Amino acid sequence: SSELTQDPDVSVALGQTVTIICRGDSLRTYYANWYQQKPGQAPIVVLYGTTNRPSGIPDRFSGSSSGNTAALTISGAQAEDEADYYCHSRDSSGNRWVFGGGTKLAVL
């Protein structure tokens, strides 16, 4: 399968912890990247290779995976974390890319 599935909407209280899930058969083989996109802006990568944070990304962002599931966790969510989050990985062939449908995170 070449699909990655995400819950469309997730909410978290300010300062609390939230986990955004991505499911797909290809995640059993390939790593996940995660992107944050705010309205009117280009996406930025917040995690790559499932668990790695690029420089400049706060350490409240962390990642994990198990079986066909990858997860992005934000520990102590801030107002500025309100955004759309997309998982990203290879498809089953390993030659093509695929994005999850995206999760809109609301920080309450």
Residues making contact with another protein (CB under 8 A): 31, 33, 35, 37, 42-45, 48-49, 52, 54, 84, 86, 88, 95-102
Residue 52 contacts residue 33 (beta carbons within 8 Å) = no
What's the CA gap between 17 and 29, in Å, rounded? 28
- Token pair in block for residue 68: 């066909």
Residue 15 or 54: the one with the smaller Cβ distance to another protein is 54
Q: How far is the CB of 76 from another protein (least distance, A)?
A: 24
Q: Helices H, strands E: what count in the chain?
A: 0, 10
> Given strand 69-74, what is the order of strands in its sheet?
5-6, 18-23, 69-74, 61-66
Q: How far is the CB of 100 from another protein (least distance, A)?
A: 8
Q: How far is the CB of 2 from another protein (least distance, A)?
A: 8
Residue 13 or 44: the one with the smaller Cβ distance to another protein is 44
Q: How far is the CB of 14 from another protein (least distance, A)?
A: 26
- Token pair in block for residue 95: 């030659």
Residue 16 or 52: the one with the smaller Cβ distance to another protein is 52
